[in-house]
Structure 1
Amino acid sequence: MQEENYFKFSIEQLLPPFLMVFSAWVVFWVEIKWGVNLNFLGVYPRTLEGLGGIFCSPFIHGSVEHLFNNSLPLFILSLALFYFYKEKAWHVLFIGWLVTGILTWLLGRPSYHIGASGLIYMLASFIFFKGVFQKYYRLVALSLTVVFIYGSMLWYIFPVEEGISWEGHLSGFLSGLVLAKLVTMRLPEKKKYDWEKEDYNEEEDEFLQHFDADGNFIEKLPEEPLSEISINYEYKPNKKEAD
């Protein structure tokens, strides 16, 4: 697949990121509207009832600030996943979501772990490490962009601030790293220039003909001598003259 076809944007790529963020806001609106607290649907480590939080916790947030801080990175990183890794996007999202939740359930403190931050760390980790592993220039550029924008998040995989689920962050980070290593994907065919092709001949290259043996640029190539043109006239008498 050529680069221009592989990195082709479609409106469908906006739908999954939008739905995830929209669903989280709808859940929070329901909590405010009806005065309910859905924190019990979060991940509660090493309990049977806490397993449901593996699927539900990314949609549950403790405050407007918590939800707002998660919405933008969730949308941007999931959009990057569906644009740059469209062939494996659903696979990475589903497996990463599941593994992040399971690791949080295994490693977390005995408390309700809620919010989409674990999923965000999984996406950021996968996008960064996958670009590094693939060594494809566009994906490496994406990795560097993720580091530039979200590099400070790395500190929060450690218990540096009270009340933050660093276990969920660490689980997401590890999940993304493992997925980046294990998930295989086809890279687009990079456009080859004439000088990269095997049958390339320097002597036939019009550009290189503008340089002499010492590497000096020749502004105007010597004109090739015109081939000799011979003109032969043949006289044919008309009918009247022939008579």
Structure 2
Amino acid sequence: MDPTTVSPTARAPRSPAKRVIPPNPVLSAAVVLGFVALLFVVEGIDTALGGRLDYGGVIPRDFTEWDNLLWAPVLHAGWDHLAGNAVPLLVLGFLASSAGVKQFLQVTAVIWLTDGLGVWIAGSPGSHIGASGLIFGYLVFLLVRGVFARSTAQIAVALVVFALYGAMLWGVLPGRPGVSWESHLFGALGGVLAAWGVARDDRRAVAA
């Protein structure tokens, strides 16, 4: 028998885009936990500086401050603001790393930039800071990726995620003063874009 012959009963490996649990859960948890730990370090520095970093957020349509979109998600308006973001960021970030750390970083970059650029173009005046845009991006990414990837397991996970955090989606609408609903909205749009891109790349890999 030709040693290169593949048995018709052999199962094809699971597509990375359809995974639910990261291939290396410890590494994924360490990366997400490390990022959240960084946020606490930054907030500690900001506290020591008397809150001066809070003015380093995205300032819409200010060409002299366009680069702030690179730093805004790591800044928070106090410990309460950061504490409210920490747990959902840990949970949703870990679930969003199901296809591995490399894809997680790519998804994060898409959400981060879509959020920042969207707020810079269409946000209300003021300094927009906080990781809530990432949280909304991960949430929406998890909700729609199963549909794009046609994965029953991921859709099931999405239903659980929706049951836990679905009420947050109201945050994409104008609401409480001082809360950047624009960041929530563009972060969510970034999640849709990231989910579409992941599914597209997976289809190309399968076709190749």
TM-score, normalisation: structure 1: 0.71
**Using the alignment, how far apart are the partners of 1:76 and 1:10 within structure 2?**
12
Shift of 1:36: 4.0
Q: Secondary structure at the match of 1:183?
A: helix
Q: Secondary structure at the match of 2:43?
A: helix
Q: 2:189 aligns with which of 155, 174, 179?
A: 174
**Using the alignment, how far apart are the partners of 1:105 and 1:126 within structure 2?**
22
Contact 2:141 2:195 in 1 (8 A): yes
Contact 2:132 2:183 in 1 (8 A): yes
Shift of 1:92: 1.1
Contact 1:24 1:60 in 2 (8 A): yes
Identity %: 30
Shift of 1:102: 0.5
Equivalent position amino acid for 2:144 in 1: F
Q: Give a deviation string over 1:36-92, Cα, whole Å, max 9, x none.
A: 42112100001123322211111111121110010111111111111x222622211
Q: Secondary structure at the match of 1:109?
A: coil
- Which sections of structure 2, spanning at least 5 residues, go unmatched? 1-11, 204-208
Task: Show the 5 A alignment for 1:87-166.
Answer: 88-166=103-181
Contact 1:121 1:176 in 2 (8 A): yes
1:44 to 2:59 alignment: yes
Q: What is the Cα-based RMSD across aligned positions, in Å?
A: 2.1
Shift of 1:25: 0.5
TM-score, normalisation: structure 2: 0.82
Size of the aligned set, in residue pairs, is 186
Q: Give a deviation string over 1:2-59, Cα, whole Å, max 9, x none.
A: 35x9644432112221122111100111122343421121000011233222111111
Q: More helix by proportion, 1 or 2?
A: 2
Distance verdict in 2 for CA 1:35–1:160, change over 3 Å: closer
Task: Show the 5 A alignment for 1:25-44.
Answer: 25-44=40-59
